[in-house]
Structure 1
Amino acid sequence: MLPLSPAPAWAVAGAARVRPGDAAWPSAARWQQLGEQVGGRLIRVQSPLVACRSEPASAACAQLFKAVKNPYFIGDDVALTQTLGWVDAWTSMPSAYAVAARHTSDVVAAVNFAREHRLRLVVKGGGHSYQGTSSAPDSLLVWTRAMNAITLHEAFVAEGCAGQAAPQRAVTVEAGAMWSQVYDAVTTQAGGYVQGGGCMTVGVAGLVQSGGFGSFSKRYGLASGSLLQAEVVTADGQVRIANACTNPELFWGLKGGGGGSLGVVIRLTLRVHELPEDFGAVNFNIKATSPAAFRRLIGRVLDFCSQALIDPHWGEQIRFRRDNTVQVSMVFQGLTRSEAVAVWQPLRDALAREPGDFVVDSSPLSIVSTSARDFWAPTLVKRVLGFIRRDERPGAPRTNVFWPGDQGQAGQVLHGFESAWLPAALLQPNRRDALGDALFAATRHWPVALHFNKGLAGAPAEAIAAARDTAMNPAVLDAFALAILGTQGQPGYPGVAGREPDVALARQQAQALGRAMAELRRLVPDAGAYVSESNYFQPDWQRAFWGANYPRLQAAKRRYDPDGLFFVHHGVGSEDWSADGFSPRT
Structure 2
Amino acid sequence: MRRRDLLKAAITLPLLPWLTTPAFASGGKPQALAGLRARVRPGQPGWPSDAQWAQLNQSVHGRLQRLRSPFEGCAGNDDACREALAQIKNPFFLGDEPALTQTSGWVDAWTSRPSVYAVAAQDASDVAAAVNFARTHHLRLVVKGGGHSYQGTSDAPDSLLIWTRHMNAVTPHDAFVPQGCEGRQAPLPAVSVQSGAMWIDAYDAVTTHAGRYVQGGGCTTVGVAGLVQSGGFGSFSKNFGTASSNLLEAEVVTADGRVRVVNACQDPELFWAIKGGGGGSLGVVTRLTLRTHDLPDTFGAVFGAIQAESDDAYRALIARAIGFYREALFNPHWGEQLVFRGDNVLRLSMVFQGLDQATAEKIWAPFLAWVRARKDCHFKEEPRVITLPARHFWDAEFFRQHAPQLVVSDSRPGAPRNHILWAGDQGQVGQFLHGYRSAWLPQSLLGETRQAALADALFNATRHWGVSLHFNKGLAGAPDEALSRSRDTATNPGVLDAFALAIIASEGDPAFPGMPGPGPDLANARAEAARIDQSMDALLKAAPSAGSYVSESNFFERDWQTAFWGSNYPRLAAAKHRYDPEGLFFVRHGVGSEGWSEDGFTRTS
TM-score clears 0.5: yes
Deviation string for 1:55-105 (max 9, x for gaps)? 4x7786455234120000000001000001111000000000000001111
Residue equivalent to 1:318: 338
Q: Is the 8 Å Cα contact of residues 406 and 424 (structure 2) preserved in structure 1?
A: no
| Aligned residue in 2 for 1:374 | 392
Q: Does 1:555 align with 2:542?
A: no
Cα deviation, residue 493, structure 1: 3.1
Given candidates 198, 204, 226, the residue that maps to 1:206 is 226
Residue 163 of structure 1 deviates from its aligned partner by 1.2
In structure 1, C-alpha distance between the alignment counterparts of 2:482 and 2:30, rounded to whole Å: 37
CA contact (8 A) 2:469 2:503 kept: yes
* Distance in 2 separating the partners of 1:408 and 1:12: 46
Quick one: which amino acid aligns to residue 299 of structure 1?
A: A
For 1:459, the equivalent position in structure 2 comes to 478
Residue 442 (1) aligns with residue 451 (2): no
> Of the candidates 101, 120, 145, which is equivalent to residue 100 of structure 1?
120
Question: 1:172 touches 1:270 (CA, 8 Å); kept in 2?
Answer: yes
The structure 1 segments of at least 4 consecutive aligned residues displaced by more than 2 Å after TM superposition are 1-15, 49-52, 57-66, 361-364, 379-385, 493-497
Q: Of 505, 510, 530, which aligns to 1:491?
A: 510
Give distance in 2, aligned partners of 1:380 and 1:172: 25
Q: In structure 2, what is the Cα distance between the partners aligned to 1:443 and 1:499?
A: 30
- Residue 318 of structure 1 aligns to a residue whose secondary structure is strand
Measured against aligned partners, the alpha-carbon deviations of 1:180-232 in whole angstroms (never above 9, x if no partner) come to 01000000000000000011000000000000000000000000000000000
Paired amino acid for 2:424: G
Match of 2:445 among 426, 446, 449: 426
Structure 2 counterparts to residues 2-17 of structure 1, below 5 A: 2=8, 3-4=11-12, 7-11=29-33, 15-17=37-39
Task: Name the aligned partner's letter for residue 67 of structure 1.
Answer: Q
- How far does the alpha carbon of each residue in 1:143-202 deviate from its partner, in whole angstroms, 9 at most, with x for none? 000000111111100011111111010000000000001000000000000000011000
Shift of 1:363: 3.9
Distance 1:48 1:385, change over 3 A: closer
RMSD: 1.4
The separation in 2 between residues aligned to 1:144 and 1:380, in whole angstroms, is 30
Q: 1:353 to 1:89 in 2, by over 3 A?
A: same
In structure 2, C-alpha distance between the alignment counterparts of 1:565 and 1:296, rounded to whole Å: 53
Aligned position for 2:412: 393
Match of 1:29 in 2: 51
- Distance change >3 Å, CA 373–CA 496, structure 1 → 2: closer
Instruction: Please state if 1:233 is matched with 2:253.
Output: yes
Structure 1 residue aligned with 2:268 = 248
Amino acid at match of 1:192: R
Show the counterpart of 1:406: 425
Please give the alpha-carbon distance, in whole angstroms, between the structure 1 residues aligned to 2:516 and 2:220: 33
Within 5 Å, give how 1:48-87 maps onto structure 2.
48-52=70-74, 54-55=75-76, 61=81, 63-87=83-107
Question: What letter matches 2:289 in structure 1?
Answer: T
- Is 1:215 paired with 2:235? yes
Change (3 A) 1:201 1:381: closer
Please say if 1:19 is aligned against 2:38: no
- Measure how far apart 1:378 and its partner are: 1.4
The question of whether the paired residues in 2 share the 8 Å contact of 1:187 and 1:373 is answered with yes
Aligned equivalents of 1:60, 1:149: Cα separation in 2: 28
* Pairing partner for 1:164 from 177, 180, 184: 184
Instruction: Give 1:347's aligned residue.
Output: 367
User: Taking structure 1 as reference, are residues 277 and 424 closer, same or farther at Cα in structure 2, changes over 3 Å only?
Assistant: same
Determine the C-alpha separation between the residues in 2 that align with 1:300 and 1:408: 30
1:525 and 2:547 aligned: no
Shift in Å at residue 10 of structure 1?
4.3
Which is worse superposed, 498-507 or 225-234? Answer: 498-507
Q: 1:382: Cα distance to partner?
A: 4.9
Measure, in 2, the Cα distance between the counterparts of 1:322 and 1:9.
54
CA contact (8 A) 1:492 1:499 kept: no
Q: Is 1:335 paired with 2:355?
A: yes
Q: 1:297 to 1:434 in 2, by over 3 A?
A: same
Q: In structure 1, what is the equivalent of residue 25 of structure 2?
A: none
Tell me if structure 2 keeps the 8 A contact 1:451–1:484. Answer: yes
The CA deviation at 1:390 is 1.1
* 1:12 and 1:585 in contact (8 A); partners too: no
Asked whether the 8 Å contact 2:396–2:419 carries over to 1, the reply is no
**Aligned-partner SS, 1:152:** strand
Distance 1:499 1:165 in 2: 59
Aligned residues between the structures: 582
Q: What secondary structure sits across from 1:304 in the alignment? A: helix
Does residue 584 of the first structure (1) align with residue 603 of the second (2)? yes
Offset, 1:43: 0.0
Contact 2:305–2:382, Cα closer than 8 Å, also in 1: no
Give the structure 1 partner of residue 530 of structure 2: 511
Q: CA separation in 1, counterparts of 2:552 and 2:45?
A: 39
Structure 2 counterpart of 1:534: 553
Task: State whether residues 450 and 483 of structure 1, in contact with CA within 8 Å, keep that contact through their aligned partners in structure 2.
Answer: yes
Q: Tell me, what secondary structure is at the counterpart of 1:83?
A: coil
Flag structure 2 segments of 5+ consecutive residues without an equivalent: 1-6, 20-28
Specify the alignment match of 1:151 in structure 2: 171
Supply the distance in 1 between the matched residues of 2:285 and 2:117 (Cα, whole angstroms): 20
Alpha-carbon shift at residue 502 of structure 1 (Å) = 1.2
Q: Matched residues in 1 for 2:139 and 2:79: separation?
A: 36
Aligned twin of 1:501? 520
How far has the Cα of 1:483 moved from its partner?
0.1
Q: Secondary structure at the match of 1:379?
A: helix
1:15-54: CA deviations, max 9, x gaps?
A: 21111001100000000011011110000000112333x3
Name the structure 1 match of 2:491.
Answer: 472
Match for residue 569 of structure 1 among 588, 595, 602: 588
CA distance in 2: counterparts of 1:335 and 1:505, whole angstroms: 44
Residue 286 of structure 1, CA deviation: 0.7
Matches within 5 A, 1:123-138: 123-138=143-158
TM-score norm. by structure 1 comes to 0.97
Inter-CA distance 386–552: structure 2 relative to 1 (3 Å threshold) = same
| Paired letter, 2:385 | I
Q: Which stretches in structure 1 are left out of the alignment for 5+ residues?
A: none
Contact 2:36 2:582 in 1 (8 A): no
* Letter matched to residue 197 of structure 2: A
User: Which AA in structure 2 matches 1:374?
Assistant: H
Counterpart Cα distance in 2 of 1:362 and 1:577:
50
Shift of 1:12: 5.3
> Partner of 2:105: helix, strand, or coil?
strand
CA contact (8 A) 2:73 2:80 kept: no
Q: How far off its partner does 1:385 sit?
A: 4.2
Quick one: distance in 2 between partners of 1:277 and 1:60?
A: 46
Q: Which range is displaced more, 571-580 or 495-504?
A: 495-504
